[in-house]
Amino acid sequence: MQLPTPFVKLPLAFDAGRLAAEALQFEESEWQKHPQDFAGNSALILISHGGTDNDDDFGSMAATPRLQQCPYLLQVFASFNTVIGRSRLMRLAPGAEVKPHSDIAYYWRDHTRIHVPIVTDPGVRFICDGVEVHMAAGEAWIFDNWRNHQVLNHTNITRIHLVIDTVGSAAFWRLVSQGSIISAHAPAANKAPEPRTIAYNAAQKAASIIEQHNRDPAVHPDSVLAIVQEWLADLRQSSSAQACYGQLELLLVDFAHNWRSIWAAHSAGPGRYSAYQELLRRTLHQASQLFADVHLSSNGMSFAQILQSYLQAFLAPQARVASPLQIPRFDRPIIILAAPRSGSTLLYETLSRHPDIWALGNESHGEIESLTGLSPADRGYVSNALGAADAGPHIAEIIRRIFAERMRNNVGANFMLLPVSGRPEQVRFLEKTPKNALRVPFLNAIFEDAFFIFLHRAPQPNLASMMEAWSSGKFITYRNLPGWRGPPWSLLLTPDWQKLPPDDLAAIAAHQWCAANSAILDSLMYLPAERWRSLSYEEFTASPADAADRLCEFCKLSPASLMDRPENHGLPLSRHTLTPPAPDKWLSHKQDIDRVMDLINPVEARINGLDHQL
Give the DSSP H/E element, type plus range, for residue 45. Answer: strand 41-49
| DSSP strand pairing (159-166 vs 334-337) | unpaired
- Determine the pLDDT at residue 595: 94
CA distance 327 to 319: 16
Per mean pLDDT, which of 54-63, 82-91, 236-245 is the most reliable?
82-91
- Determine the pLDDT at residue 417: 67
Q: Is the pLDDT of residue 319 over 80?
A: no
- Determine the pLDDT at residue 325: 53
pLDDT-based confidence at residue 568 (cuts at 50, 70, 90) = very low
Long-range contacts of 521-529 (CB under 8 A, 24+ apart): 521/603, 521/606, 521/607, 521/610, 523/440, 523/441, 523/444, 524/440, 524/452, 524/454, 526/441, 527/440, 527/444, 527/452, 529/611, 529/612
Q: Vertex 479, ends 25 and 396: CA angle to 5°?
A: 155
Buried b (16+ CB within 10 A) or exposed e, 299-313: bebbbbebbbbbbbb
Report which DSSP code applies to 202. T
Between these two residues, 312 and 46, which has the higher pLDDT value?
Answer: 46
Buried b (16+ CB within 10 A) or exposed e, 93-127: eeebbbeeebbbebbbbebbbbbbbbbbbeebbbb
On whether the CB atoms of residues 152 and 95 are closer than 8 A, the answer is: no
On whether the CB atoms of residues 16 and 138 are closer than 8 A, the answer is: yes
CA distance 31 to 158: 13
- Determine the pLDDT at residue 152: 95
Backbone angles phi, psi at 307, to 5 degrees: -60, -45
- Give the mean model confidence (pLDDT) for residues 431-438: 94
3-class secondary-structure state, position 331: coil
Residue 250 buriedness (CB in 10 A; 0-12 / 13-18 / 19+): exposed
454: β partners: 337, 534
- Determine the pLDDT at residue 577: 53
Give residue-wise pLDDT tens across range 249-272. Answer: 999 999 999 999 888 876 545 556
Buried b (16+ CB within 10 A) or exposed e, 50-73: ebebbeebbbebebbebbeebbbb
Q: Is the pLDDT of residue 323 over 70?
A: no
- Determine the pLDDT at residue 569: 44
Mean pLDDT of the chain: 87
- Determine the pLDDT at residue 189: 57
Interaxial angle between packed helices 71-79 and 16-23, expressed in degrees from 0 to 180 and rounded to the nearest 10: 130
Between these two residues, 140 and 321, which has the higher pLDDT value?
Answer: 140
CA distance 372 to 365: 13
Q: Is the pLDDT of residue 165 over 70?
A: yes
CA dihedral defined by 399, 390, 470, 474, rounded to 10 degrees? 20
pLDDT above 70: percentage of residues in the chain: 90
Kindly give, in sequence order, each residue whose CB lies less than 8 Å from that of residue 40, ignoring residues fewer than 6 positions away.
Answer: 92, 93, 94, 95, 96, 97, 153
- Determine the pLDDT at residue 565: 41
Give residue-wise pLDDT tens across range 175-198. Answer: 999 999 888 776 665 566 789 999
- Determine the pLDDT at residue 8: 95
- Give the mean model confidence (pLDDT) for residues 314-341: 78
Give residue-wise pLDDT tens across range 32-75. Answer: 887 666 778 999 999 998 898 888 888 889 999 999 999 999 99
- Determine the pLDDT at residue 80: 97
3-state secondary structure 6-22: CEEECCEEECHHHHHHH
- Determine the pLDDT at residue 324: 45
Q: Is the pLDDT of residue 574 over 60?
A: no
Q: Is the pLDDT of residue 540 over 80?
A: yes
Per mean pLDDT, which of 139-143, 287-291, 368-372, 393-397 is the most reliable?
139-143
CA distance 239 to 259: 28
- Determine the pLDDT at residue 515: 97
- Determine the pLDDT at residue 322: 44
Q: Is the pLDDT of residue 216 over 70?
A: yes
Backbone angles phi, psi at 305, to 5 degrees: -70, -45
Between these two residues, 406 and 503, which has the higher pLDDT value?
Answer: 503
On whether the CB atoms of residues 335 and 431 are closer than 8 A, the answer is: yes
pLDDT-based confidence at residue 126 (cuts at 50, 70, 90) = very high
Ranges of H-type helices in 375-529: 393-406, 440-446, 459-472, 505-524
Identity of the amino acid at 432: K
Between these two residues, 453 and 99, which has the higher pLDDT value?
Answer: 453
Between these two residues, 379 and 515, which has the higher pLDDT value?
Answer: 515
CA distance 504 to 509: 9
On whether the CB atoms of residues 49 and 58 are closer than 8 A, the answer is: yes
Q: How many CA atoms lie within 13 A of 348 on its CB side?
A: 26
- Determine the pLDDT at residue 406: 80
On whether the CB atoms of residues 8 and 172 are closer than 8 A, the answer is: no
- Determine the pLDDT at residue 272: 60
Residue 118 Rama label (left phi>0; alpha psi -120 to 50; beta): alpha
On whether the CB atoms of residues 338 and 344 are closer than 8 A, the answer is: yes
- Give the mean model confidence (pLDDT) for residues 344-356: 91
